[in-house]
Structure 1
Amino acid sequence: MSEWTVEDMPDCSGKTAIVTGANSGLGFEATKALSAKGAHVVMACRSLDRGEDAMAEIRTDVPDASLSVSELDLADLDAVHRFADDFADQYDALHVLCNNAGVMAIPRDETEQGFETQFGVNHLGHFVLSARLFPRLRETPGETRLVTVSSALHERGHMNFDDLHGERRYDEWEAYAQSKLANLLFAFELDRRLTASGIDDVVSVGAHPGYADTNLQFRGPEERGSTARLVVSKLANAVFAQSAANGALPLLYAATESSVESGDYIGPQGVFEMRGYPGTTDAHERARDPKTAKRLWEVSEELTETQFRLA
């Protein structure tokens, strides 16, 4: 097993990357590592204030980091379109798009366009972002990458096309698992469509962090006002989780490692894939099902009124 760390990342000077959810957790650590290797990182954050604070914190460790903060609310597709328009106006190249931001196991809520929030933010928001930014990935010279962060819990997921938004029945963990399955269905379907279109210089990769100590686990208990669940979550993180920096390694491996191929799935290589050094791993067979992926792609285009054009 290769003991790959940030020290093994190649030089990223001259490259531009976007990291969604860059102000905390995995996104923060990935942004710091990419900028330390010379990349310019656009920190796509829901809160500009938190993004600015995170940028200042990174610069205490990486004084010459090339960073910018842009507002991106994945729960509002109008905001996603604005972000994409602004990026296209400011940047001629995009080398890496890291679809990292997400929400986990929260009480049922809806996005601005009326989608169930976990499906809307984790999948649909990133689907639209990827569709809008794909031309920049395609036009940028050399190999470019689109990395979509999923979860080991995708294995519990099923695409309930008859009730995608949990209007008839909602379970917070089932909704999360469905959204994470959707992430991989998208990543692997994009790979298939790239191959069918003869596009070999854009790479679509899935990744998962294992069990990482981030604030992601706390939002659900906080929104429910459950002190007991919050305490249990914090205790579990302290006892079982690896650090956020280690949890970001699969994302960074997927984004930069030369041996990665389009359609790969990257995760920790330790016991139960909860922790450890990153490498190629297996996704559940449901994530590789082309019929389900094709249906999800078509439903996503219809729901978001956004066409994903590869030409």
Structure 2
Amino acid sequence: MTTFSASDVPSMAGRTVVVTGANSGIGRAAAHVLAAKDARVVLAVRDVGKGRAAAAGMSGRVEVRRLDLADLASVRAFAEDFTEPVDVLINNAGVMIPPFSRTADGFELQFGTNHLGHFALTNLLLPRIRERVVTVSSSGHRMGSINFDDLGWERRPYRAMGAYAQSKLANLLFTSELQRRLSEAGSTVIATAAHPGTSATNLLRFDGRNRVRYLAARAAIGLLAQSDDDGALPTLYAAVKDIPGNSYAGPRGFLETRGAPKLVGRSARARDAEAARRLWEVSEELTEVTFPRHSLQAA
């Protein structure tokens, strides 16, 4: 059985890779490998100071640019300033189970950041993307459902984990519908997805309320988690391997919690083509960003 490791990433010389949320966790680990393989890597981060600190630990050509996915004005500014070609866009940044809050545009934070921010960024950059879009989801998508009547948790009691699972399911529906639209437009760009398994990232943060539950969760993650370097391997696999569009990579180990990456399955809800199309249409309305079909054909 052939396994995939960081050493299997080919030379990325001449390629530009944008990684969102690359100042920490699996985003930083993936960026580190890609930079070492001679890619020009752009760390798209909310905190530029933390981004520069992360870049200082990487070799090669690494740049830091500000991007706040919880603010569509920031997303648009980033895309407008980025005029050069992008070979690979890695939609990695995310928030996990925070207390209820909203983005600058009034969306529930996890849906707004994890899905809508990346939805807008991808479509705005798409005329300049040459190879693929990789979106990081989660095995937690299996617990998710898309409540089209209450995407913002305004009519229901807020459940942080439910909102997180909804956003991660949205990532996979986004990937499948993006691939469908790219294929329909005759584009050679592909959309893929990945999940890190259980990775010891800083997504899970203490919210100041239930310390016992927080410590229990951290302990469980500590027992199952793999390192950020290992957690980044499915992302790298989805970014560089010769795989079909709409592929989904994750760890091959027990319950997909850890291990070398391979192509994995997804829930029935994540395979719902009608839900994917509906989510896309709703996302276009919410972000006022549309699929750039004519720009792709012109390119």
- Quote how far apart the aligned CAs of 1:236 are: 2.1
1:72 aligns to 2:67 (yes or no):
yes
Which amino acid in structure 1 is aligned with residue 68 of structure 2? D
1:184 aligns to 2:179 (yes or no):
no
2:297 alignment partner in structure 1: none
1:147 alignment partner in structure 2: 134
Which amino acid in structure 2 is aligned with residue 36 of structure 1? A
Three-state SS of the structure 1 residue aligned to 2:82 is helix
The correspondence of residues 16-55 of structure 1 with structure 2, limited to 5 A, is 16-55=16-55
- Quote how far apart the aligned CAs of 1:306 are: 1.1
- Quote how far apart the aligned CAs of 1:229 are: 3.0
Summarize deviations over 1:64-108 as a string: whole Å, max 9, x none.
Answer: x110000000000000000111112xx2x1100000000011111
2:237 alignment partner in structure 1: 253
1:194 alignment partner in structure 2: 182
2:126 alignment partner in structure 1: 134
- Quote how far apart the aligned CAs of 1:26 are: 0.6
1:161 alignment partner in structure 2: 148
- Quote how far apart the aligned CAs of 1:231 are: 2.2
2:250 alignment partner in structure 1: 267
- Quote how far apart the aligned CAs of 1:226 are: 3.3
1:281 aligns to 2:273 (yes or no):
no
Summarize deviations over 1:86-134 as a string: whole Å, max 9, x none.
Answer: 112xx2x110000000001111100011000000000000000001000
Which amino acid in structure 2 is aligned with residue 18 of structure 1? V
Which amino acid in structure 2 is aligned with residue 184 of structure 1? L
Which amino acid in structure 2 is aligned with residue 10 of structure 1? P
1:7 aligns to 2:7 (yes or no):
yes
Runs of 4+ with >6 A deviation: none
Three-state SS of the structure 1 residue aligned to 2:135 is strand
Summarize deviations over 1:191-235 as a string: whole Å, max 9, x none.
Answer: 111122222x20100111100011112x2xx22443323322332
1:228 aligns to 2:212 (yes or no):
yes
Three-state SS of the structure 2 residue aligned to 1:215 is coil
Alignment partner of 2:195 out of 187, 202, 208 = 208
Superposition CA RMSD, Å: 1.1
Which amino acid in structure 1 is aligned with residue 70 of structure 2? A
Separation in 1 of the partners of 2:184 and 2:208?
A: 45
Three-state SS of the structure 1 residue aligned to 2:149 is coil
Separation in 2 of the partners of 1:15 and 1:176?
A: 32
The correspondence of residues 65-144 of structure 1 with structure 2, limited to 5 A, is 65-88=60-83, 91=84, 93-137=85-129, 140=130, 144=131
Separation in 1 of the partners of 2:79 and 2:192?
A: 21
Which amino acid in structure 1 is aligned with residue 247 of structure 2? D
**TM-score, normalising length: structure 1:** 0.92
Separation in 1 of the partners of 2:239 and 2:293?
A: 20
Which amino acid in structure 1 is aligned with residue 185 of structure 2? S
Separation in 2 of the partners of 1:159 and 1:238?
A: 30
Separation in 1 of the partners of 2:107 and 2:262?
A: 34
> Would you say how many aligned residue pairs link Structure 1 and Structure 2?
293
Deviates further, 180-189 or 277-286: 277-286
1:243 aligns to 2:230 (yes or no):
no
**TM-score, normalising length: structure 2:** 0.96
- Quote how far apart the aligned CAs of 1:173 are: 0.6
Deviates further, 72-81 or 230-239: 230-239
